[in-house]
Amino acid sequence: MNAPTKTPSLFHLLDPEVLADPYPLYARLRAETPVLWDPYLHAWVVTRYADVVEVLTTFSANRTPTPDKLVELGMENLTPLARIMVAQMLFLDRPAHGRVRRLAAVAFTPRRIEELAAHIQGITDSLVDAVAGRGHMDVMAELANPLPAIVTAEMLGVPTSDHEMLKKWSTDFAEMLGNFQHNPGRTAQVLRSVDEMTCYFRDAIRAQAAHPTDGLVNALTNAEIDGDRLTEDEVVANVIVTMVGGQETTTNLIGNGLLTLLRHPAALQQLRADPTLMPSAVEELLRFESPSQHTARLAPRDTSIAGRPIEKGQAVIAVMGAANRDPDRFPDPNRVDLCRSDNRHLAFGWAAHFCFGAPLARMEAAAAFAAVLSRLPDLSLVPEPLVWRPNLGLRGLQAMRVRWSV
C-alpha cells in the first residue's frame, strides 16, 4: 500500500511502488480531493466518475501547443511534432473534429473491421503456435507487442513486414503523449522517428495512388463527403494517431488483462469454462486495469467542477483509471467480476472523442485471451517482480513471463 501521508499529487505515479498499484492513491484522491489543484503538474486532477464524464463531455480537447507557440517558448525543435499533433482528431474541437472524424469513419467501415477480424484470429494463432510447445513465454514480447503491430500494418494497408518499424515509431510517439514530462534526453530520437514516419506515410500515399491497397492510408486519402477531402498533411497526421492509438493501448489491454486473470484464478477458471463470457470479460478487464489511465482537457471558459472554480484555459487531467474504480458508479469496484452488468467504464474515453478503434481493440484482446486460455494449460506467472513501463498515461508492463505444462 502507498503511504497515505504523501502530499496528494498524480506526480507520485513516478514512484515505482505507486506505479505498480496506483489505486490506493486514486481512492484517496476521490475521497479527499476529487477535484485537486496539482501543484507539481500545474493542472487540475479529476478522479470521480461523474466529474471525468463532465470534463470529457464539455471541456476543450484543443490542448496541444501550436508550432508558433513553441517558437515563442523557445522550443522550436519540437515544432515538427506539433505540426502533426495540431491536425490529429484527438486534439481538435468542434467543428474541425467532427469533419475529420466523419471522413475517417467513411474510411474505416464496419466491413473493413470484419475483414480484419478474419485475419486477427489467424495472426493470434500463429503467434501462440510458435510458443505453445515451449512451456514458457514473455507475453509482452511474444504476443501483446506483435499482435497489435501486425494488425495495425494490415489496418493501414502497409506491408506487415514493416510492423517492427511501426511499433518503434509508435512507442516513441506515445512517449510524448503518455507522460506528464517528456525526457529531454529522448527528444532527438523521438523527432527522428517523427521525421521517418512522416516520410514513410507520404511515400505510402503516393505509391498507393498508383497501386491502391485496402487500408486506412488509401481510404483516408480518398474519403470524401460533399466534395470535402483531407489534405495530405491531415491524412499523415491522422494515420499516425490511429497507428499510435491502436498499438500501445491494445498491447497493454492484452498484457494487463492476462495479468488480472492470472492474479484472479477464479475469474480465469470461469472464463475458461464459459468462453461466451468473453465480451463482458473484456469490458471488465478494460475497467479494472485501464490501458489509458488519463487524458487531458482545457477549461473552455471560467467554470467550476463540483464547486471548485476552474479558470478558462487551465488544464484538467481526467483520470479514467480512477473513475473506473469509483464506488459511487461501480459496486465493489476493486472486485473482478467478469459478469458485471451496467459496466459503462471510461477506458475508451467518452463523448465526441470516444475511441475510434474500440471495436478493433476488443476483437484483438478477445482473440488473444481465447487463444492463450484454450491452448496453454495450467498457465501461471513466473514468480519474479513485475516491472511497469515508466509511461504514466499508458499503463502496461515491460515484460510478463508465464509458464504452462507441455
Given the rule CB under 6 A, which residues bind ligand HEM? Answer: 56, 89-90, 101, 241-242, 245-246, 249-250, 253, 291-292, 295, 347-349, 353, 355-357, 360-361
State which residue, 133 or 279, has the beta carbon closest to ligand HEM: 279
Q: How far is the CB of 1 from ligand HEM (least distance, A)?
A: 26
Write down the residue that cell numbers 469509483 correspond to: 326
In contact, 357 and 288? CB cutoff 8 Å: no
State which residue, 307 or 359, has the beta carbon closest to ligand HEM: 359
Q: How far is the CB of 317 from ligand HEM (least distance, A)?
A: 11
How far is residue 364's CA from residue 254's CA, in Å, rounded to a whole number? 8
State which residue, 2 or 60, has the beta carbon closest to ligand HEM: 60
Q: How far is the CB of 208 from ligand HEM (least distance, A)?
A: 18
State which residue, 218 or 295, has the beta carbon closest to ligand HEM: 295
The residue number with the shortest CB distance to ligand HEM is 357
State which residue, 45 or 89, has the beta carbon closest to ligand HEM: 89
313 Cβ contact list (under 8 Å, min separation 6): 298, 299
Distance of CA 14 to the CA centre of its chain: 19
Q: How far is the CB of 295 from ligand HEM (least distance, A)?
A: 3
Q: How far is the CB of 103 from ligand HEM (least distance, A)?
A: 12
State which residue, 114 or 273, has the beta carbon closest to ligand HEM: 114
Give which of 347, 149, 179, 167 is closest to 260, Cα–Cα.
347
Q: How far is the CB of 290 from ligand HEM (least distance, A)?
A: 7
Q: How far is the CB of 153 from ligand HEM (least distance, A)?
A: 12
Burial of 122-142, coded b for 16+ CB within 10 Å and e otherwise, reads: ebbeebbeebbeeeebbbbeb
State which residue, 22 or 291, has the beta carbon closest to ligand HEM: 291
Q: How far is the CB of 234 from ligand HEM (least distance, A)?
A: 13
Which backbone phi and psi does 18 adopt, to 5 degrees?
-75, -40
Q: How far is the CB of 30 from ligand HEM (least distance, A)?
A: 19
Could you write out the three-class secondary structure of 273-290?
A: HCHHHHHHHHHHHHHHCC
State which residue, 110 or 377, has the beta carbon closest to ligand HEM: 110
Distance of CA 79 to the CA centre of its chain: 24
State which residue, 327 or 359, has the beta carbon closest to ligand HEM: 359
Burial of 360-377, coded b for 16+ CB within 10 Å and e otherwise, reads: bbbbbbbbbbbbbbeebe
Question: CA neighbours within 13 Å on the CB side: how many for 236?
Answer: 22
CA dihedral of 248, 249, 255, 260, whole degrees rounded to 10: 160
State which residue, 18 or 103, has the beta carbon closest to ligand HEM: 103
43 Cβ contact list (under 8 Å, min separation 6): 296, 314, 315, 316, 317
CA torsion sign, 39 to 43 to 47 to 50? positive
How far is residue 43's CA from residue 296's CA, in Å, rounded to a whole number? 9
Q: How far is the CB of 164 from ligand HEM (least distance, A)?
A: 18
Mapped onto helix, strand or coil, the DSSP state of residue 318 is strand
